[in-house]
Structures are given as structure tokens and as C-alpha cells.
Amino acid sequence: MQLANTLGSRTAIIAIVLGLSTVAEAGNGPWVLGQGDQSLYVGVDSQRITKLFVQVEGERQTVDVDARISTFSAKAVLAYGLGARVEIEGAVPWTRVWMARKDQLPCGTLGLDACRTTQGIGVIEGRVKFLLADELAGSPVSASVGGHARFGGLTHSTRARLTNIGEGTTDLGGFASVGRTGGLGAGYWSGYVDLSGMYRMPNTRSFPNGDGDQPAPGSEFHAASDLLFAPMSGANLSFGPSVSVLWRPFGVDWDALDLSDPDRFGALRIISPRVGAKVIVRDGARAAFSVSAHQAVGPINNPNPFTLSAGVSVNGLFTRGNR
């Protein structure tokens, strides 16, 4: 009887956490929706950039952005469970990026309308996720793999701007994710690690200006992890740290750029770690509100954005019985 109670408690914890994850994480982690289930996430992001960290002659240097870059983005993410272990997901963002003062540094030195306000539909994304191991089926962890595609053709004409909302490429790649849940006193915890890689079909293979031999942009890799804690198993609140890293190992440093080439920023090799925290408030297993804050730490050839994000997601929004 004690064993049955323990297993029942464990299953209940996993069910709560998986429901929370699919509601509020917009596809992060290994967990998938059940067959025929849907999840709609609508969120907004706000960023502020005041510095660029560039690599010049092997040394990391700081460039003050006197003009200050601000970003506002809204995104809709729709996920659907194709089967017991398969989920598809599509995301469409709308973004506006602007400079507070276009007559301040570094606008005048970059040319090509570098600081002109840019707005519109950004990079459209699609993913398919396959659940390989499931905690609900007795596995010690949940694990998934999948494919990922991005279409940035709508951003191609403005890719040369410091205020760009994409680099105008079509990208194809894959990802793997591992997660686990467990009890923690009267509450529970949940954590995952996502790893992904994207091949980016370059805008040019001869940066700069058709005379070189450098593709731009190069392929990139991404890692992300969240760890959430809930003080009570029946509580509607969970919170915890969140980290991510974007790494483009192939490219040139800032001092090797040809600023007259429209693919100048795509030609950079970059690394951008981010650290922050996330809070999720849920309403049962159907809906949740999430808010997070992240700060870039130690970026190279990239800015230092401070990002605030908030979103609402709903499960079963299009189910006939819930209308």
C-alpha cells in the first residue's frame, strides 16, 4: 500500500509538472502534448541595449551605444499533439526595433541605415518533437528529439541594420531535450536541458562584397535550461533560475568586418550567454501566466540586452467541449 501511494504521488507530481510545462513554456523541455491536445501561447518581450561587446585584435572591448536600442516583440506559438508522443509547433513574431537618438554613436559610423527603425514580421519558426522516453511510462527521465526550421526571408532587406529583426536566412536544424521532475518536501521541482544546432543557408559565401571566402551568416548552436520549484504540490506558483547560451563559432571578429557589406553583422562569430529567472502562475492544468527577466553576461561581438518577457498560454483552447 505504501508503494502504491508513493507511485501515485509520483505520477500526480509528474502530471502537474507536465501540464505546467506544456501550458507555460511554449515548447521548451522534452514533454509533449497528448494526442489531439492544443496549446496556444501569446507573449511579449521588451529589450534594452546600451552596450556592444566586440572582439578587436584578440581583446574584448566595450562600445557604448549612446543612442540606446529598444525592442518590443509579440509572439504567438501554437502547438498540437499529433499522437501520444509527437508534437508540432509553429511560431510567428512581430517585432519593432528603434533607436532613441539616431544622431548618436554608433549610428553615424556604420552607414547602410544602421539605426533606422525596423518593424514587421520577424523569423517564422516550425518544430516537430518526438518523445523518446517518458517519465509517466516509468523512465527515470523524459527525453525528446526533433527537427527545427526557421524562415527569415521577410527580414532580408533590412539585415544590414543594427536594428534588424533577422538576418534574412532559411535555417534547418535539430534539437535534443532531457528533463526530469520530482518531489521536494511538500512541493515539487522540474528541470530540463535543451541543446540545438542550426545550419543557416548563407546570404553570401564570399564575404566581404563577393571578394572573400567567408560564408555569412554561419551555423549556430543554442543551449537552454530552466529549473522550477513549487513550494506546495497543489500550489499555483512555481519559480526558478533560467540560463541560455547562443554560440556562432564560424565568422570574423569586429575588426575584420567590411562595414559596406550588407551581411556585415551576419559575418560575425558570436557568443551570448544569458542568465535570469522565471515565475509561472497557473490556473489548474488549463492556463498559465509566465514572466521572466534575463541579462546577457559576457557576450562577444554581440550586445548586452536586458530582456523582460511575459506571456499567457492556454491548453485545449480549440477543443469543442471548452468553447
pLDDT at residue 106 is higher than 90? no
3 state SS of 157: helix
Q: What is the pLDDT of residue 233?
A: 66
How many other C-beta atoms are found inside a 10 Å radius of the C-beta of residue 232? 11
Contact of 122 with 93, CB cutoff 8 Å? yes
Confidence of residue 239 (pLDDT cuts 50, 70, 90): very high
The alpha helices in 177-225, defined as continuous H runs, are none
What is the residue-wise DSSP string for 259-314?
TTSTTTTTTB-EEEEEEEEEEEEEETTTEEEEEEEEEE-S-BSEE--EEEEEEEEE
Q: What is the pLDDT of residue 150?
A: 97
Half-sphere exposure (Cβ direction) of 226: Cα atoms closer than 13 Å: 26
Per the structure, how many domains does the chain have? Answer: 1
Confidence of residue 74 (pLDDT cuts 50, 70, 90): very high
Residue 302, domain extent? 2-322
Contact of 131 with 144, CB cutoff 8 Å? yes
Q: What is the pLDDT of residue 286?
A: 81
Q: CATH code at 293?
A: 2.40.160.40
Q: What is the pLDDT of residue 2?
A: 41
pLDDT at residue 284 is higher than 80? no
* pLDDT (average), residues 307-318: 90
pLDDT at residue 102 is higher than 80? no
The lowest-confidence range among 37-46, 198-207, 228-237, 253-262 is: 228-237
pLDDT at residue 173 is higher than 70? yes
Confidence of residue 4 (pLDDT cuts 50, 70, 90): very low
* pLDDT (average), residues 267-279: 96
CA 30, CA 271: separation in Å to the nearest integer? 25
Q: What is the pLDDT of residue 110?
A: 84
Q: What is the pLDDT of residue 7?
A: 42
pLDDT at residue 316 is higher than 70? yes
Q: What is the pLDDT of residue 159?
A: 96
Phi/psi at 11 (nearest 5 deg)? -65, -40
pLDDT at residue 168 is higher than 80? yes
Q: Give the alpha-carbon dihedral of 111, 117, 122, 123, to 10 degrees.
A: 20
pLDDT at residue 5 is higher than 50? no
Half-sphere exposure (Cβ direction) of 37: Cα atoms closer than 13 Å: 18
Nearest one of 85, 82, 78, 87 to 36, comparing CA atoms:
82
Cell numbers 506544456: residue: 22
Half-sphere exposure (Cβ direction) of 186: Cα atoms closer than 13 Å: 4
Q: Which amino acid is it at 153? A: G
Nearest one of 124, 309, 284, 150 to 226, comparing CA atoms:
309
* pLDDT (average), residues 224-253: 90
Q: Which position has the higher pLDDT, 72 or 52?
A: 72
* pLDDT (average), residues 137-148: 93
3 state SS of 186: coil
Contact of 56 with 49, CB cutoff 8 Å? no
Q: What is the pLDDT of residue 300?
A: 94
pLDDT, the chain, mean: 88
pLDDT at residue 24 is higher than 70? no
| Cα–Cα distance list, 265 to 118, 251, 304 (Å) | 16, 10, 15
Contact of 257 with 114, CB cutoff 8 Å? no
Instruction: For the full predicted model, state whether its pTM sits above 0.75.
Output: yes
Q: What is the pLDDT of residue 97?
A: 96
Q: Which position has the higher pLDDT, 102 or 261?
A: 261
Query: Looking at residue 254, what DSSP letter applies?
Result: G
